[in-house]
Amino acid sequence: MAIHKVIEVSAESPESYEDAVRKAVKDVSRTVKNVRSVYVKESLAEVEDGNVTQFRVICKITFEVQ
């Protein structure tokens, strides 16, 4: 039986939502081992002068506890 824990994090990128998700996983993986999945709970975008300037995601990241 495996035990999993879920944490909620946010990340942003000027490029895309996908890039923001990758950044969230990469940042969490620096300190948390055994990341298994990511669930995008919310996605938001900042707009300035009619242009999207930042893509932001709020994610739930699941990892296995050893």
What pLDDT, in 10s, does the model give residues 16-63? 999 999 999 999 999 999 999 999 999 999 999 999 999 999 999 999
pLDDT of residue 66 exceeding 90? no
pLDDT for res 5: 97
| Burial of residue 52, with CB atoms counted within 10 A of its CB: 0-12 exposed, 13-18 middle, 19 or more buried | exposed
* Residue 45, strand partner residues: 55
Around 64, how many Cα atoms within 13 Å sit in the side-chain half-sphere? 5
Q: Which two tokens stand for residue 61?
A: 């990241």
What number does CATH give the domain 3-65?
3.30.1660.10
Token pair belonging to 40? 């995008």
pLDDT at 3 > cutoff 90: yes
CB contact at 8 A, 37 and 61: yes
The pLDDT value recorded for residue 1 is 85
Domain positions in the chain are: 3-65
